[in-house]
Chains A and B, each alone.
Chain A
Amino acid sequence: MAQGEGTGSMSALHHLSVAEAGRLIGARKLSPVELVAAMLDRIEAVDGRLNSYVLVLAERAMRAARAAEAEIMAGGWRGPLHGIPFGIKDNYHVAGLPTTGGSRLMQGGAPEAETATIVARLEQAGAILMGKLNTWEYGTGDGQVYHDLPYPVARNPWDLARFTGGSSTGAGASVAGGTALFALGSDTGGSIRLPAAACGLQGLKPTFGRNSRAACLPNCWSLDHTGALTWTVEDQAIVLGATAGHDHRDPSSATAPVGDYRKGLHEGVRGLVIGIVRDLGDDLDPAMREALAEAGAQLAEAGAILREVALPAPLATYQAVAWTINWAESFSIHEQDFLARRALMGRALRTKMTAGFCVRAVDYLAALRERRRLALATDALVRSVDALLLPGAFHVAPSLREPGTVPAFTRDTACSVFNLTGHPALSLCTGFDAGGLPLNAQIVGRYFDEATVLRVAQAYEAATPWRARKPDLAPHAPEPTMPDSTPPSVTPEQLADAERYATRYGLSALSRAEVAELAALLDRTAAAGLAIPRQSSKEDEPAHVFRVPLR
């Protein structure tokens, strides 16, 4: 099944787009059994070095494929997802299967009782679940890869020495590497869009509330979004059409009507006003900057009206607000485990938990208040145009052999902006750098206007050759280099303060390195909290305030 690699040939079933495969299956030119078998072969052949899956459901998938085949042969074709193999990040529950969240804390857990709503909707549409995909522990971390989780880190199909982007690491690896035709990830500060960016995919974080989060492990209630990583924009339209819609099981789920996302997909961008945000500081890779400009030019050539715009606040403000909310809510979610079973956590999660342990309530509240202001101001910008075009990840995928470069990939992005504001945001592949690594930009739309986001992305995708290029998997994944684990340097006074703080809030038996890290994070979280702008009016309230009836 290795034939066709690197050429984008239709003969490689594992590199079919969802739309292509769906057309072939609908026309009875391709059997779901054949397709699933090909995917299983592909997984068998490459996943030992790709590490996209943590659990492959070969028998379950083959059973589903046979059922799909029979149904289709009997005239019961359900639509474009019928018989399409997909994977899900292992923070989605599936009834009867364990969920590990990529964590030692959930190893050997009981099978779950419920299936995540959007997984169930995809299965209802006939899609075939291939397995659970790799993830950063609990879908989060501190940006570094420490190689201390129960599953080896997923590798980037474009260069197996490189990181896939997190936290939906396996989702990025699988769709780019051909071990799933599409994948579900989850996005709190970029965790769908970053792997999509690093792996050359289209990754959509829909509007907050568009996709249900029910029966997906929470990471941060107020910022978590669910969504898919796909090879093409059309595939996004197909998958979103199946996953979107109100779900009474998710109190944040929206009742806004779901459109037919494929309907206007090919209408082009003529006359659309697209705001382009070029200046987000000096951290953006030059190749990203050029690709963004070229994408703007492409869209202009296709008839869009390009307008130079700027975000209404410095990127650093959005980031400080997002991190403070994320640290605090994540800590609340995992507090018991952190206090009682901290040693089972990987270092990336433990570091984030330690940060959350430090955040003051007033800084969390300041972040929620600033979030309201940022969301309103950003929405005014988004409503002044039809869509925004701006950088997503600022860097190409970093090498796991240069661990010092890894955290910057997660840190230097404009992704969390739209977790805070709730606007739909798609990471679009905008080509490749000189080394063959994927470039990306974000397309952002108005609330619940995923249709326009997809339409713009489709126009760009159709006008550029990038979807024809497929990764050529190297035969071996190089050994990674371990990141520096030297504890931060802190003064004895800071250590003593940290010890007292830990004891006061019920944290005991810390190692010296942990105390040093706590000491450093007490300062860092305080600085982040104080960096959040304060509101001029006492009446400017937090973004979410208790209201009844409870939802």
Chain B
Amino acid sequence: MSEEPLWRLTVAEASRRMAAGALSPVDLVEAFLDRIAAVDARMPSYVHVDAEGARAAARVAAAELAAGRRRGPLHGLPYAVKDNYDVAGLPTVANSRLRLDHVATRDAAPVARLKAAGALLLGKLSTWEYGTGNGGEYGDTVFPTTRNPWDLTRFAGGSSIGAGAAVAAGTAMFALGSDTTGSVRLPAAACGVVGVKATPGRVSRHGLLPNCWSLDIPGPFTWTVEDAAIVLGAIAGHDPADPVTEDVPVPDYPRRLAGGVQGLRLAAVTDPGPGFPAPDAAMAAALHAGLDVLRGLGATVVETRLPVPAAECFALSRFIGPPESASIHEAEYRTDAALMGTALRDKMHGGTVQRAADYIAAQRRRRAVAEGIDGLLSGFDALVTFGTFRVAPRLDRQDEMVAFTVETAMTPFNLSGHPSLVQCTGFTPAGLPLSWQVVGQRFDEATILRVAAAYEAATPWRRERAPVR
């Protein structure tokens, strides 16, 4: 075996070694605990490391392997979850002073599925308070903010702030976050990893602290596209406990990765429409270069436009997210608003005074957005566009962090319910990750993974993990 440290392994490679008996879950967990001990204080990506729990689970996993009972591709592989997922016996603080005493009594559905698949939970990852906020960092919540492992002076993306950093820095082999208007894809973009927001209804939300019922989606963070396919396959599927999950079959995502993009028809949106400042030149250049790569691989790429500009979609989301959040956290807001951090409290203020008429108007307009994007996609296998417009901003630039979070091409697909993923499309000269977004037809995560896998295989961006500098 190579001398590569174990924490650098991809899910797929570790899985192969595990299957071959060449890797022990116990050793793998120790490697990650060592990595966490070595670098996490500088980021930090975790709010709670469950070392003993992980070691105990690793011993069980090892015993099962020894007994010839391998549960599947995730058997023995260490991961971590955003601290808005319940894990029985662990606190779900969600970075809120309102939940310091909380201890979960059940596993969130995706955690339960991963447990059944034999994956090993290392701990809970840092998040913005309640998985939301206003884009700013105010340093007034429970845990210190996560820093970007590519440049520790920079933002790691929110709200799943620990998840992107953990995978980029190798403090978790993979991670789960949640996405309301970009909270999986923003940190994935900032940290140069793969982040998947599946179709709503694909992954159960049961056991996640809600942020916005009509937009929330749990999703995986991984280093490679193949890893995303493996993890998504493990967490996807119908769950009677989540009324939004659809009883539709889950494809074998890893098997569907092959095939490339030869003959695929891809829509390209290189102009996200009026209302937002233009994307950074480096981001735009990476998008165009990436489209050339896909053309070179045999895809037909057709330039098109979104039926509703990204800026308008974001504006609409501002009339859906805050009132739903305000409804979710209403009791606490009435009695304990002073315990909330500035970012959450600001959002609650806005959501509480909003009129029903505007909420309903936004949901009605949302239907038009959804039908419009559905119509656009009906002529294509997938769509490629920007994710974020900028690289990760500095943590001392509040305005740039808000702009990073707000000015993106992500919300159209939260509103419309189309699956999308973010992947790394290179690096700036300063070593900051660039990224794009691949969007598919509803319940067709398989095709966006396939497109992303083809791009990844044709480009060199997966060679180096973040230096944690």
Q: Interface-forming stretch among B7-15, B160-168, B277-285, B354-362?
A: B354-362
Q: Which listed residue (A360, A539, A541, A548) contacts B355, Cβ 8 A?
A: A360
Query: Are A361 and B356 in contact, with the CB atoms below 8 A?
Result: yes
Q: Which of B184-219 contact A (CB under 8 A)?
A: 199-201, 206, 209-210, 213-215
Query: Judging by beta carbons under 8 Å apart, are A361 and B361 in contact?
Result: no
- Asked if residues B351 and A361 are in contact (CB atoms below 8 Å), the reply is yes
Known: A364-B360, A369-B327, A546-B215. 13 other contacts (CB 8 A): A332-B356, A357-B357, A360-B353, A360-B356, A361-B326, A534-B330, A538-B210, A538-B328, A541-B210, A545-B244, A547-B417, A548-B442, A548-B443
Instruction: Name 7 interchain pairs, CB-CB below 8 A, sorted by A.
Output: A332-B356, A356-B357, A361-B355, A362-B323, A538-B328, A542-B213, A546-B363
Judge if A418 is at the interface, Cβ distance under 8 Å. Answer: no
Within 8 A of A (CB), among B282-331: 319, 323-324, 326-331
1/0 contact trace for A330-360 toward B, CB 8 Å? 0110010000000000000000000011111
Minimum-distance CB pairs A-B, first 10: A361-B323, A364-B356, A328-B356, A361-B359, A365-B327, A548-B417, A332-B360, A359-B356, A546-B214, A541-B213
Closest to B352 in A: A362
Cβ-defined contact, A548 with B351, below 8 A: no
Known: A545-B243, A547-B244, A548-B200. A363 touches B356 (CB 8 A): yes
Contact of A534 among B331, B355, B358 (CB under 8 A): B331
Query: Which A residue sits closest to B214, measured CB to CB?
Result: A546
CB-CB nearest in chain A for B333 = A362
Contact A366 B330 (CB under 8 A): yes
Chain A residues in 8 Å Cβ range of B363: 546
Contact indicator A505/B330 (Cβ below 8 Å): no
> How many angstroms between the C-alpha atoms of A357 and B331 in the bound complex?
24
Q: Which parts of A525-551 form the interface with B (CB within 8 Å)? A: 534, 538-539, 541-542, 545-550
Which of A324, A331, A358, A550 counts the most chain B CB atoms within 10 A? A550
Contact A359–B355 (Cβ < 8 Å): yes
5-57 of chain B: CB within 8 A of chain A: none
SS class, residues of chain B in contact with chain A: helix
| Residues 339-359 of B contacting A (Cβ, < 8 Å) | 351-359
Question: For residue B359, which residues in chain A have a CB less than 8 angstroms away from its CB?
Answer: 361, 364-365
Are A550 and B354 closer than 8 Å at their CB atoms? Answer: no
Say which residue of A335, A541, A542, A548 sits within 8 Å of B357 (CB atoms).
Answer: A335
Cβ of B374 under 8 Å from chain A: yes
Bound state CA distance, A128 and B469, in angstroms? 81
Interface segment, one of B146-154, B365-373, B448-456: B365-373
**A332: chain B residues within 8 A (beta carbon):** 356-357, 360-361, 364
A357 surroundings in chain B (CB, below 8 A):
355, 357
Give the contacting residue for A546; candidates B200, B353, B361, B442; CB below 8 A.
B200
B353 to chain A, nearest CB (A): 7
Min CB–CB distance B287 → chain A (angstroms): 27
Interface status of A329 (Cβ within 8 A of chain B): yes
In Å, the complex CA distance between A332 and B361 comes to 7
Binary per-residue interface labels of chain B (362-392) against chain A in the complex, 1 for a CB within 8 Å, 0 otherwise:
0110110011001000000000000000000
Q: Which residue on chain A has the smallest CB distance to residue B360?
A: A332
Measured in the bound complex, the distance between the Cα atoms of B134 and A223 in whole Å is 35
B201 x A548 contact (CB < 8 A)? yes
Determine the residue in chain A with the shortest Cβ distance to B359: A361
Q: Which residues of B contact A360 (CB under 8 A)?
A: 323, 352-356
By the criterion CB–CB under 8 Å, are B366 and A356 in contact? no
Chain A residues with CB below 8 A from B214, complex form: 542, 545-546
Q: A548's closest neighbor in chain B, by CB?
A: B417
Nearest-Cβ distance from residue A438 to partner chain B, whole angstroms:
36
Minimum CB–CB distance for B318 against chain A, Å: 12
Q: Dominant SS at the A interface?
A: helix
Task: Take A360-B356, A541-B210, A547-B200 as given contacts and tell me if A366 and B327 are in contact as well, using a CB distance cutoff of 8 Å.
Answer: yes
Complex contacts, A328 vs chain B, CB 8 Å: 356-357, 360
Q: Say whether B442 contacts A361, CB under 8 Å.
A: no
Which B residues touch A548, using CB under 8 A? 199-201, 246, 370, 417, 442-443
- Interfacial chain A residues near B352, Cβ < 8 Å: 360, 362
| Assembled-state Cα–Cα distance A360/B417 (Å) | 26
Which of A324, A364, A369 has the most chain B CB atoms inside 10 A of its CB?
Answer: A364
Asked if A359 and B367 make an inter-chain contact with CB atoms under 8 angstroms apart, the answer reads no
With beta carbons under 8 angstroms apart, the residue of B209, B243, B244, B323 that contacts A365 is B323
B356 neighbours in A (Cβ, 8 Å): 324, 327-328, 331-332, 356, 359-361, 363-364
A534 contacts which chain B residues (CB < 8 A)? 330-331
- CA–CA, A534 and B209, complex, Å: 17
- Known contacts A365-B327, A545-B244; A505/B355 CB under 8 A: yes
Considering only residues 121-159 of chain A, those with a C-beta below 8 Å from chain B are none
Q: How far is the CB of A427 from chain B (nearest CB, A)?
A: 30
Encode contact with A along B198-242: 1 for CB under 8 Å, 0 otherwise.
011100001001100111000000000000000000000000000
A353–B450 alpha-carbon span in the complex (Å): 51
| Cα(A332)–Cα(B354), bound, Å | 14
B210–A329 contact, CB under 8 A? Answer: no
Q: Of residues B243, B246, B363, which shows the largest number of chain A Cβ atoms within 10 Å of its Cβ?
A: B243
A549 touches B354 (CB 8 A): no
List, in ascending order, chain A residues with CB within 8 A of B326's CB.
361-362
Nearest Cβ distance between residue B144 and chain A, in whole angstroms?
25
A329–B360 Cα distance when bound, in Å, is 7
Instruction: Tell me whether B324 and A365 are in contact (CB under 8 A).
Output: yes
Interface string of B164-179 (1 = CB under 8 A from A): 0000000000000000
- Interfacial chain A residues near B443, Cβ < 8 Å: 548
Interface residues of B in 110-138 (CB under 8 A from A): none
**Is the CB–CB distance between B213 and A361 below 8 Å?**
no
Shortest distance from the beta carbon of A333 to any chain B beta carbon, whole Å: 9
When distances are taken between beta carbons in the complex, the residues of chain B under 8 Å from A331 are 356-357
Contact residue among B209, B244, B371 (Cβ-Cβ distance under 8 Å from A550): B371
Nearest residue in B to A536 (C-beta to C-beta)?
B331
The complex places the Cα of A538 from the Cα of B92 at a distance, in Å, of 14
> CA–CA, A328 to B354, complex, Å?
12
The reply to whether B354 and A335 form a contact with Cβ atoms under 8 Å apart is no
Nearest CB to that of B324 among chain A residues?
A: A365
Closest to B245 in A: A547
A220 → B minimal CB distance (Å):
11
- Chain A nearest CB, measured from B443 CB (Å): 8
Q: How far is the CA of A542 from the CA of B355 in the complex (A)?
A: 17
Residue of A nearest to B366 (CB): A546
- Contact (Cβ within 8 A) A361 B331: no
Contact A359 B357 (CB under 8 A): yes
Residues in A neighbouring B417, C-beta threshold 8 A = 546-548, 550
Closest Cβ–Cβ distance, residue A530 to chain B (whole Å): 10
Convert B413-436 into 0s and 1s, putting 1 for each residue whose CB lies closer than 8 angstroms to a CB of A. Answer: 000010000000000000000000
Most central of B246, B324, B329, B356 by chain A CB within 10 Å:
B356
CA distance A515 to B329 in the complex (A): 32
Contact between chains at B201 and A335 (CB < 8 Å): no
Contact B329 A538 (CB under 8 A): yes
In the bound complex, CA of A331 to CA of B358 (Å): 10
Contacts A546-B417, A548-B200, A548-B417: A362 and B330 contacting too (C-beta < 8 A)?
yes
Q: Are A361 and B209 in contact (CB under 8 A)?
A: no
In the assembled complex, the Cα of A287 lies from the Cα of B53 at a distance in Å of: 69
Enumerate chain B residues within 8 angstroms of A538, measured Cβ to Cβ.
209-210, 328-329
Contacts of B323 in A (CB 8 A): 360-362, 365
Q: Which residues of A contact B371 (CB under 8 A)?
A: 550
Closest B residue to A542 by beta carbon equals: B213
Chain B contacts for A364, CB-based, 8 A: 356, 359-360
Cα distance A328–B323 in the bound complex, in angstroms = 14
Q: How far does the Cβ of A172 sit from chain B's closest Cβ, in whole Å?
A: 30
Contact B361 A335 (CB under 8 A): yes
CB-based nearest B residue for A550: B370
Closest residue to A358 on the B side, CB-wise?
B355
**B residues near A550, Cβ cutoff 8 Å:** 367, 370-371, 374, 417
Cα distance A363–B364 in the bound complex, in angstroms:
18
Residues of A within 8 A of B367 (CB): 550
Within the complex, what minimum Cβ distance (angstroms) separates A425 from chain B? Answer: 24
